[in-house]
Amino acid sequence: MLEIPLENLPDWYSNKVRKKIEPPRKKVQKILDKIQIILDDINTSCIKLTDTTSFSEHTDELATKSVEQLARKYQDRINELEIPTEPLYFEKITKFSLILKNLIQYLWQQGRRWIPKLSRTTGSTYKTSVRELNYHIKDLQNEWMNLENFIEKKLKKVKIFEDIFDQIEKMQLILNEIDEKKEELKTIEAELSELQKKKSILEKEFEELNKNPLIVERTTIENELQNIIQTLKNILGYFRKPFRKFEKLLGEGTYFVRSGCNEQLTKYSKKPIETFFAEDDDYSNLKMVLLELKKAIPRLNLKAREEKKLEKEIDEINQGSLLQIRQK
């Protein structure tokens, strides 16, 4: 079984199918050359038609306008048409054939619109030029039909080979992308290997650091500090609701406390842990706030059970229950 490397496959396949592809394409090229000649002839006939108007004595304004309109519309539309160039692929030729068909229909349509208006002219001023135009358009139509028949009978078979070429190109593109991805993967793997080496080194350094007595001691202290903070949160957190009620009472302006209490109440209400850490060892500010809070209990609209519990919590703190935590 013959194996062809993919990079050599396009050239190999092209050599294999050349005899089947080139003859139909050469035939198409001949038809296109004839079409180009006919289009040039139509353009020349349009020039002759307008020249007839310039030199004829048997013309009127309507005839002159009709001739100019007909010639201009023919020439403008013909000049828009682009004859396909090599490589003459099936899709390109079939698209051109459709455009040519529309052009021929347009030429006949404009002829039916403007040529009858020339009948008012006396003599045979335009007959020769019009007859020549019609002849060339019919010739163009015949050549288009010839092209259509050839596409259907011969050129359609060439499309099979063109589709195979497309598949080969797609395979090459896919393989090229695969090769590029492989190279990218190699780069990524190399970077990953370096990162893993660095990770191993850092892990070893981290293990050594954790064995250092100072780090061990710091970790112990941090754990103890977290326990202290949590204990404080549990104790001071109880006062969140009473503090808010107390602030509301003071905000009404009907109840007054000693100087500085209002400010400390606001601090303990918003940031109790930070405020406690900023206190002196005897946490006198907190005691002041709690003492004023205890006096205001009857004005807070608490249930009897809540009042007793609040008084108990206040008394415990004012009697020094937080001193040990403060010392720690």
Dump the DSSP string for 81-110.
-----SS--HHHHHHHHHHHHHHHHHHHHH
The contacts of residue 167 (CB under 8 Å, 6+ apart) are: none
What average pLDDT score do residues 302-308 get?
87
Count of beta carbons in the 10 Å neighbourhood of residue 143: 19
Q: Which of the two residues, 163 and 15, has the higher pLDDT score? A: 163
Phi, psi of 282 (to 5 degrees): -90, 0
Least confident of 46-55, 150-159, 253-262, 289-298: 46-55
**241 half-sphere exposure, CB direction, 13 A CA radius:** 8
**36 half-sphere exposure, CB direction, 13 A CA radius:** 10
The contacts of residue 2 (CB under 8 Å, 6+ apart) are: none
pTM for this predicted structure = 0.49
Q: Which of the two residues, 22 and 11, has the higher pLDDT score? A: 22
Q: What is the mean pLDDT of the chain?
A: 82
Inform me whether the pLDDT recorded for 89 exceeds 50: yes
Q: How many whole angstroms separate alpha carbon 292 and alpha carbon 299?
A: 12
Q: Confidence class of residue 52 from pLDDT cuts 50, 70 and 90?
A: low
Inform me whether the pLDDT recorded for 9 exceeds 60: no
- What's the token pair of residue 273? 């842990």
| Cis amide prior to 84 (ω within 30 degrees) | no
Domain annotation for the chain: domains and CATH numbers: 15-159 (1.20.120), 214-327 (no CATH)
Q: Which of the two residues, 102 and 281, has the higher pLDDT score? A: 102
| Cis amide prior to 87 (ω within 30 degrees) | yes
The alpha carbon dihedral of 28, 32, 34, 38 has a sign of positive
Q: How many whole angstroms separate alpha carbon 311 and alpha carbon 257?
A: 18
Give, in degrees to the nearest 5, the angle at Cα 54 between 53 and 60. 50
Burial bucket for residue 53 (CB in 10 Å: 0-12, 13-18, 19+): buried
Q: How many whole angstroms separate alpha carbon 111 and alpha carbon 97?
A: 21
Instruction: Tell me the per-residue pLDDT of 278-297, one tens digit each, with 9 for 90 and over.
Output: 888 888 898 898 998 889 88
Instruction: Tell me the per-residue pLDDT of 179-236, one tens digit each, with 9 for 90 and over.
Output: 888 888 888 988 898 889 899 888 888 887 777 787 777 877 888 888 888 888 888 8
Inform me whether the pLDDT recorded for 245 exceeds 50: yes
